[in-house]
Amino acid sequence: MSIDWFAFVIVAVATLVASMVVVGFYGLGMRLLAVATDAAPTRQPAVRLSAYACFAVCVAAVLYGIYLIVPAFH
Amino acid sequence: MVVLVIALALFFDFTNGFHDTANAMATPIATGAIKPKAAVLLAAILNLVGAFLSTEVAQTISGGLIREGEGGIQISPVMIFAGLIGAIVWNMITWLLGLPSSSSHALFGGLIGAAIVGAGFAAVDYGVVVSKLLLPAVLAPLIAGTVAYLGTKLAYAITRRQGNSAAPKRGGFRYGQIFSSSLVALAHGTNDAQKTMGVITLVLIAGGFQSAGSGPVFWVIAACGLAIALGTYSGGWRIIRTMGSGLTEVKPAQGFAAETSTASAILASSHLGFALSTTQVASGSVIGSGLGRKGAKVRWNTAGRIGIGWLLTLPAAGGVGALAAWVAHLGVAGIIIDAVAGILIILAMYVVSQRSKVGHDNAISDVDQAGEVVKIKRKRKKKKDRLEAGQ
């Protein structure tokens, strides 16, 4: 009976990295968006743009993850 | 016989979707991020899509778990039939008693039990059982829980804003939850729909319609995806009805972190062919993310009860499956007895589900129950939260 322990390490690391990236960037994006909204009189397009960039990173991370698991793409 | 098994397997798939909709969609509905009807439809579609994405888990079941074909043990459709009956009966019992259990483990338990009775202890590949069933069952919820804990900490740390009067504005996580719970639904399709595919492929192999070791064919994938999607869609009324009852207090940021880690853990495991229980992984995440909040305490009683339910499922369903296999081997009469018992139980399930008793114990899902494991100090600024929600 051989158990592929390495597979569990992969699952753990993949889960950790994927969640941290998605949660981290989503949180960051929200924070930047909040900052942009706070300073209503002085517009801050740069902050708002970087917030959207953060959300884009989330979407990209998710799409990449799905790309990885679908055998049809390889 | 083969047709009967396929019908039964698809029914099992349907109930699986029916039962698990809540796992994915309960929190975004509860926080008002998405309307119940839309959420249920979304979950159904994503389950269907998920079923097509990867067939690794199906192959674990059809190709690895039970040694079939040349050189191995001849597994018969009757055995698979008995295993399915065992799984359905055990699901029914736990559902009636309000015990948290995993329908996936019930399925495996039933199959293993039936195979052992039908063909002896050598019929089951224990290496596969341990490495692709038992260990993932223990490790995946732990991994998901740990990651959810870290994710919750991270989400709160990033959005914490010091100084001035600026509110942390964590309400945006509510919209993030639409996406994260969609991912959970997708992951559910990649893992749970596969199990039925595996069983149907197994019976096709056993019946000699397919060569041993081959993967599921297209119509099997499509049928399983549709069954689970239909189940998910029709399970929606349960959620809508229970909206009024008390949900576990899950904050959007916490729910987002929990769902993200659930989805990543399930997707990663599916990719490696680990057949795990989505309910258990989601429960692990909910507990983990609850612990990530300030002032959280574990209610060990509830946690222990859930743990015992998990431990019990595999051997108990195995027992029922073995019994059903034993009866089925009496001949045609035995198969009829099994079938009648199965139909009676399905009918009983329907009757009970029609009763409009929706309490906290059967209300949302096992995952909701897991949420009760963590006790969180209530904050006093309830009003402010509500103001934020109104924005």
State how far the alpha carbon of B217 is from the alpha carbons of B201, B209, B322, in Å.
Answer: 8, 11, 29
Whether residue B235 contacts residue B40, with contact meaning beta carbons closer than 8 Å, is answered with yes
Per-residue HEC secondary structure of B153-177 comes to HHHHHHHCCCCCCCCCCHHHHHHHH
A27–chain B nearest CA distance, Å: 6
For residue B213, the tally of other CB atoms under 10 A from its CB is 13
Q: Tell me the mean pLDDT in the region A40-60.
A: 80
Whether residue B314 contacts residue B130, with contact meaning beta carbons closer than 8 Å, is answered with no
Which residues of chain A does B158 touch, with a Cβ-Cβ cutoff of 8 Å?
Answer: 24, 27-28, 31
Whether A3 sits inside 8 A of B127 (CB atoms) is yes
- The answer for residues whose C-beta is within 8 angstroms of residue B3's C-beta and 6 or more apart is none
Q: Does B183 touch chain A (CB under 8 A)?
A: yes
Whether A1 sits inside 8 A of B127 (CB atoms) is yes
Whether residue A33 contacts residue A50, with contact meaning beta carbons closer than 8 Å, is answered with no
Residue B297 falls in which region: left (phi positive, over 0), alpha (psi -120 to 50) or beta: beta
First to last CA, chain A: 30
Whether B264 sits inside 8 A of A18 (CB atoms) is yes
Nearest CB partner across the interface for B256, out of A1, A26, A62? A26
Q: Does B144 touch chain A (CB under 8 A)?
A: yes
Mutation test of the interface with chain A: which of B156, B188, B271, choosing the one with the most A Cβ atoms within 10 A? B271
Asked whether residue A64 is assigned to any structural domain, the reply reads yes
Structure tokens at B156: 């709160």
CA distance B355 to B61: 36
Whether A11 sits inside 8 A of B272 (CB atoms) is yes
Nearest CB partner across the interface for A28, out of B158, B168, B265? B158
Which residues of chain A does B54 touch, with a Cβ-Cβ cutoff of 8 Å?
Answer: 69-71
pLDDT at B362: 46
pLDDT at B71: 46
pLDDT at A68: 81
Three-state DSSP class for B137? helix
Nearest CB partner across the interface for A31, out of B150, B159, B256? B159
Return the H-helix or E-strand segment holding B31: none
Whether residue B174 contacts residue B33, with contact meaning beta carbons closer than 8 Å, is answered with yes
CA distance B133 to B136: 6
pLDDT at B116: 80
CA distance B342 to B323: 13
DSSP state of B123: G
Q: Does A31 touch chain B (CB under 8 A)?
A: yes
Asked whether residue A50 is assigned to any structural domain, the reply reads yes
CA distance A42 to A10: 47
Whether B158 sits inside 8 A of A71 (CB atoms) is no
pLDDT at B15: 76
Structure tokens at B110: 């039933």
Nearest CB partner across the interface for B169, out of A3, A10, A30? A30
Return the H-helix or E-strand segment holding B76: none
CA distance B277 to B166: 42
Nearest CB partner across the interface for B139, out of A8, A28, A58? A8
Interface of B with A in 235-264 (CB under 8 A): 253, 256-257, 260-261, 264
Structure tokens at A34: 């909040």
Q: What is the mean pLDDT for each group of 10 consecutive residues in chain B (391 residues)?
A: 81 77 69 76 84 76 60 67 82 67 78 77 70 79 86 82 56 78 83 82 77 72 84 67 48 82 86 79 82 74 75 80 77 74 73 55 53 58 43 38
Which residues of chain B does A3 touch, with a Cβ-Cβ cutoff of 8 Å?
Answer: 127, 130-131, 135
CA distance B252 to B177: 7
Interface of A with B in 32-71 (CB under 8 A): 33-34, 37-38, 58, 62, 65-66, 68-71
Whether B257 sits inside 8 A of A37 (CB atoms) is no
Helix runs in chain B, H state only? 2-30, 36-53, 56-59, 77-97, 103-119, 126-128, 135-159, 173-206, 218-234, 236-242, 252-271, 278-291, 300-328, 332-354, 366-371, 382-390
State how far the alpha carbon of B109 is from the alpha carbons of B60, B96, B159, B346, B372, in Å.
Answer: 15, 19, 44, 19, 27
Range of the domain at A37: 21-73
Asked whether residue A6 is assigned to any structural domain, the reply reads no
Q: How far is CA B355 from the centre of its chain?
A: 24
Whether B256 sits inside 8 A of A23 (CB atoms) is yes
Q: Tokens 């994710």 map to which residue? A: B151
A54–chain B nearest CA distance, Å: 13
Residue of B nearest to A38 (CA): B166
Whether A69 sits inside 8 A of B148 (CB atoms) is no
pLDDT at B66: 62
Whether A15 sits inside 8 A of B264 (CB atoms) is yes
CA distance B58 to B108: 12
Asked whether residue A16 is assigned to any structural domain, the reply reads no
Residue type, position B336, single letter = I
Per-residue b or e along B282-311, where b marks 16 or more CB atoms closer than 10 Å to that residue's CB: bbbbbbbbbbbbeebeeeeebbebbeebbe
Which residues of chain A does B194 touch, with a Cβ-Cβ cutoff of 8 Å?
Answer: none
Question: Could you tell me the pLDDT band of residue A19, with boundaries at 50, 70 and 90?
Answer: confident
Whether residue A18 contacts residue A65, with contact meaning beta carbons closer than 8 Å, is answered with yes
pLDDT at A3: 67
Q: How many domains does chain A have?
A: 1
Angle A5-38/B252-271 helices, nearest 10 degrees?
150
Asked whether residue A7 is assigned to any structural domain, the reply reads no
pLDDT at B236: 61
pLDDT at B390: 42
Interface of B with A in 45-64 (CB under 8 A): 53-55
Whether residue B189 contacts residue B50, with contact meaning beta carbons closer than 8 Å, is answered with yes
Asked whether residue A56 is assigned to any structural domain, the reply reads yes
CA distance B233 to B59: 26
Percent of residues, chain A, with pLDDT higher than 70 = 82
CA distance B75 to B80: 8
Which residues of chain B does A15 touch, with a Cβ-Cβ cutoff of 8 Å?
Answer: 143-144, 147, 261, 264-265, 268
